[in-house]
């Protein structure tokens, strides 16, 4: 009887554990614009917005001023925006654009396969929301709208 | 007497609301969007337009470079739709409204 109960509990717990592992953000190490290696898991404890973008993508460029604003506004609450761009892109265009807009968060250089680790769609931009435990909480395709930030990111920032 | 007056007032309000909603029309705007060169990026235009109160249907074609939007003109204007498109980083360059009025109740 006890064996049956233990087996039943194990069966119930199994999918929860499995889905927990599936939601864990992949361990990624990428170079930033200065050539320094940055580990994604170094940001554990923060609410990370992993923003896949490109200079050739107009909506990507359009949403970055909002990301800059939110990074400034919610840094003290633990928000960490990280931009990831990947070829085809020219490094000098990335540098010029991020400087012009005043990007106040790390920009990392990835590859298409970096993005594929997080999402199978090809929509640009794409923002992955990662919680303080390193779990992927949501994927936002297209521009991250202010109302989506309010609904999906703010509650995570309010949790300590 | 007071009760009768209240009932008449309530009926009048209801009548006004019904008439107002009957006059609300669904319009269709065909807006040319400049710069939509990638399918992957045009999803933002659809998303931003759908988030606007009063927008009922959105069809964005990056091949044709147009956004066809059905909207309730009591809630949103075509000028506002163009502003929303411009905020996505593209440019709403030309407006060509084919007004297709229909009772809002038909659209919903």
Percent of chain A with pLDDT over 90: 71
pLDDT in tens, B18-61: 555 555 689 999 999 998 877 788 899 999 999 999 999 999 99
Contact A57 B40 (CB under 8 A): yes
Q: Which residues pair with A31 in a beta bridge?
A: A37, A109
Neighbours of A139 (CB within 10 A): 15
Residue A144's pLDDT is: 96
Our CA-based measurement puts residue A131 at a distance from the nearest CA of chain B, in whole angstroms, of 24
Find the chain B residues whose C-beta atoms sit closer than 8 A to any C-beta of A: 35, 38, 40-41, 43-48, 51, 87-90
Q: What is the DSSP secondary-structure string of A59-98?
A: HHHHHHHHHHHHHHHHGGGTEEEEEEE-SS--HHHHHHHH
ipTM for the complex? 0.75
pLDDT in tens, A64-95: 999 999 999 999 999 999 999 987 778 899 99
pLDDT in tens, B93-105: 865 555 555 444 3
Which pairing describes strands A79-85 and A107-109: parallel, antiparallel, or unpaired?
parallel
């Amino acid at each position: 009887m006890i064996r049956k109960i233990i087996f039943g509990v194990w069966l119930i717990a199994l999918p929860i554990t499995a889905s927990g592992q599936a939601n864990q953000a992949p361990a990624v190490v990428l170079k930033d614009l200065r050539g320094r290696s940055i580990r994604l898991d170094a940001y554990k404890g923060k609410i990370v917005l992993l923003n896949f973008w490109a200079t050739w993508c107009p909506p990507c460029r359009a949403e970055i001023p909002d990301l800059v604003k939110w990074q400034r506004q919610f840094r003290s609450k633990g928000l960490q925006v990280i931009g990831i761009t990947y070829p085809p892109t020219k490094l000098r265009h990335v540098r010029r654009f991020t400087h012009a807009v005043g990007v106040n968060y790390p920009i990392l250089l990835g590859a298409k396969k970096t993005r594929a680790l997080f999402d199978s769609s090809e929509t640009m931009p794409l923002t992955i929301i990662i919680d303080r435990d390193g779990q992927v909480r949501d994927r936002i395709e297209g521009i991250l709208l202010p109302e989506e930030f309010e609904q999906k990111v703010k509650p995570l920032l309010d949790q300590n | 007497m007071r009760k009768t007056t209240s009932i008449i007032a309530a009926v009048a309000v209801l009548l006004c609301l019904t008439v107002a909603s009957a006059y609300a029309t669904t319009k269709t705007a065909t807006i040319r969007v400049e710069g939509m060169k990638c399918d992957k990026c045009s999803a933002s235009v659809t998303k931003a337009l759908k988030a606007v109160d009063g927008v009922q249907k959105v069809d964005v074609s990056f091949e044709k470079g147009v956004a066809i939007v059905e909207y309730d003109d009591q809630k949103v204007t075509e000028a506002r739709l163009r502003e929303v498109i411009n905020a996505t980083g593209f440019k709403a360059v030309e407006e060509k409204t084919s007004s297709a009025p229909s009772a809002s109740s038909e659209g919903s």
